[in-house]
Amino acid sequence: MNGLRIYALIYLVFLYAPIILLPIFAFNDGTVIAFPLQGVTTKWFSELMTVNALHDSVKNSLYVAVITAIFSTLLGICAARAQARYRFPAKKGIVGLIMLPLVLPEIIVAVSLLIVFLSLGFNIGLWTIILGHVLICTPFSIAILNSSFQNLDPSIEEAAQDLGETRFGTFLKITLPLVMPGIVSSLLIAFTISMDEFIIAFFLSGTEPTLPVYLWSQLRFPQRLPVVMALGTILVVLSILILILAEAMRRYGLRRSGMQDKGGFL
Amino acid sequence: MLRNSDSARGLTLISPPLLYAVLMLAGPLGMILMFSFVPQSDGPNTLITLQNYTEALGDPLYRQLIIRSLLISAAATAITVLLAFPIAYFISFYVPPKRKSLWLFLITIPFWTSYLIRIFLWKVILGLNGLLNTGLLKLGLINEPLEFILYNPAAVVITLAHAFAPFAILPIFVALEKIDRSLLEASQDLGESKVRTFFRVTLPLAVPGVVASVLIVFIPTVGDYVTPRLVGGSEGTMIANMIQVQFLRLDNRPMGATLSVITMICVTIISLLFVLANRRNMKART
């Protein structure tokens, strides 16, 4: 028991090692990302403010991530609702195909989309990234929304319909509010995944880089690395905040439907 | 009647995500398959050809990259799952129910934070003036920085084991949570020791979770691009790097498509064999 606990703590250190290093180098007053440390500075953070290419890439990423989050959540609602409520032919196969991007190597998704867009003569750009991101975010949205829809007591909806609501009215007034925490949490997770996704964006970005694509181009220049560390620190803090919010929403949803918490997003 | 309308509603509802998956996934995957039979620019002047496949399988460079990717992935998967099992076991059996989701949350956080920077930082940790070398030097355990820990397959394996940790922990945790605790009590009441109970009851019942986590780590890691590129050096280059070069540098789509198809086929065959090998375990005991 104690041995296991110690192992678990060491494992957590292993998991968090890279993230803990980020702020250390972001505030380090040296141009080389290595030990020993040189003293404290905030100049890398102020340098962030002056890089226009960075600001553009952040805007591109936000644009892509917001649209991706909305569409993958909409598709996720359809799939999760159908899966929780209805029996239909080939259910396993259909759901399997939709969930496939979860395990498929991302490079395969990226090159297959690239080949299609190039063959059809489309210009690759932000919207082709969005198409790819919606594909890989939808399974995550479905996984999150599944538990929301499965926890829903069907007798509540039946009651609304018995009292004269239409199917659609019931969905809007009863179902949607009850699964809202799941929806918010799906939006947040899809947003986070899209903001962070590199491979698909790398293949499909054309001339408009997203933030990870911009970061990748910077990793080649050693003198740019301290600024990258500062940027990384900000990103880590922001994504942890978003995750805490998503987790809080998920738990709120569970509490409200009176279900026991069985853990994790996946 | 009711059932029919039920299945019609279900199908209507699932049709948008299904249509999307068909257009954006099944279609493009079919396209990749098609392109793998298209002749390269210097290839035969026919409509379709098998030459890409004979070239990809015959060229020792491609062959070596594919085999190496599979081996690196297999090693990373084994290490990831072995390291993950005790954690899943700890959370499921020893963490009080109220704190379980906190632990799971703590484990998933690093997974959601900037993938590129996380992998880049492993380069910092493993590098010549990195955390590991400086630490070991300070402790007096080594006299010169270790050079063999960065830019090789081992570095790729370590970094992948880190990146895919939550993927491995969660399925095992779910399987362990499903185990009826009274079975363990029964085993011990009947005179088995704790260790034997673990090996004869807990572990066999956890097999479905272990199989799931092996697949969920193995399949995506074979196609990982960033990790081998950043920490692998020339010894640790993997097939995804070659696929990227074919598509984006050489503009050789047929060869890129062929390598993608071969990789997918290898991964599928290995995964199916693995599931088949474990099927008896999964069925007989659950």
Q: Which domains does chain B have, with CATH numbers?
A: 1-35 (no CATH), 50-284 (1.10.3720.10)
Contacts of A36 in chain B (CB under 8 A): 134
Q: Which residues contact B225 (CB under 8 A, 6 or more apart)?
A: A106, A107, A199, B238, B240, B241, B244
Output Rg (C-alpha) for chain A, integer angstroms: 22
The pLDDT, as a whole number, for residue B191 is 81
Chain A residue with Cα closest to B242: A107
Please give the full DSSP string across A117-152, using - where no structure is assigned: HHHTTPPPSHHHHHHHHHHHHHHHHHHHHHHHHHTS
Instruction: Look up the pTM and report it.
Output: 0.86
The residues with which A28 forms a beta bridge, in sequence order, are A40
Chain B residue with Cα closest to A213: B116
The pLDDT, as a whole number, for residue A69 is 96
Q: Which of B87, B117, B129, B225 to mutate to test the interface with A (most CBs of A within 10 A)?
A: B117
Express each pLDDT in A144-175 by its tens digit: 898 888 888 888 888 888 888 888 888 888 88
The pLDDT, as a whole number, for residue A227 is 85
Please give the full DSSP string across A98-121, using - where no structure is assigned: HHGGGTS-HHHHHHHHHHHHHHTT
Answer whether A86 sits within 8 Å of B17, measured CB to CB.
no
The pLDDT, as a whole number, for residue A1 is 63
- Whether the pLDDT of residue A265 is over 80: the answer is no
The pLDDT, as a whole number, for residue A191 is 92
What does the angle CA B148 – CA A217 – CA B218 come to, to the nearest 5 degrees?
Answer: 55
Answer whether A18 sits within 8 Å of B118, measured CB to CB.
yes
Express each pLDDT in B17-47 by its tens digit: 999 999 999 999 999 999 999 888 777 777 7
Q: How far apart are CA B124 and CA A1, in angstroms?
A: 34
The arithmetic mean of pLDDT across residues A122-128, rounded, is 89
Q: Which of A61, A72, A107 to mutate to test the interface with B (most CBs of B within 10 A)?
A: A107
The arithmetic mean of pLDDT across residues A212-238, rounded, is 87
Q: Which residues contact B216 (CB under 8 A, 6 or more apart)?
A: A102, A103, B167, B168, B171
Predicted confidence band at A266 (pLDDT cuts at 50, 70, 90)?
very low
Q: Which residue has the tokens 């995500």?
A: B17
The dihedrals phi and psi of B236, each to the nearest 5 degrees, come to -110, 10
Chain A residue with Cα closest to B215: A103
Answer whether B112 sits within 8 Å of A8, measured CB to CB.
no
Chain-centroid distance, C-alpha B173: 17
Q: Provide block-wise average pLDDT over 10 residues at a time, chain B (286 residues).
A: 72 92 94 90 78 88 92 94 93 87 85 83 78 77 74 88 89 89 84 84 88 92 91 87 90 91 93 87 56
What distance in Å separates residue A11's CA from the closest CA in chain B? 8
Express each pLDDT in A172-200 by its tens digit: 888 888 888 889 889 988 998 999 899 99
Closest CA to B176 of B214, B216, B206, B201: B206
The pLDDT, as a whole number, for residue A35 is 67
Two tokens, residue B166:
């939550």
Contacts of B274 in chain A (CB under 8 A): none
The pLDDT, as a whole number, for residue B214 is 94
Contacts of A7 in chain B (CB under 8 A): 86-87, 90
The pLDDT, as a whole number, for residue A258 is 64
* CATH fold for domain A61-256: MetI-like fold (1.10.3720)
Answer whether B120 sits within 8 Å of A219, measured CB to CB.
yes
Q: Which of B101, B248, B260 sits opposite A261 (nearest CB)?
A: B101
The pLDDT, as a whole number, for residue B1 is 43
Give the start-to-end residue ranges of the domains of chain A: 61-256
Question: Range with the lowest mean pLDDT among A17-21, A30-34, A155-159, B189-193?
Answer: A30-34
Q: Which residue has the tokens 């076991």?
A: B89
The pLDDT, as a whole number, for residue B188 is 82
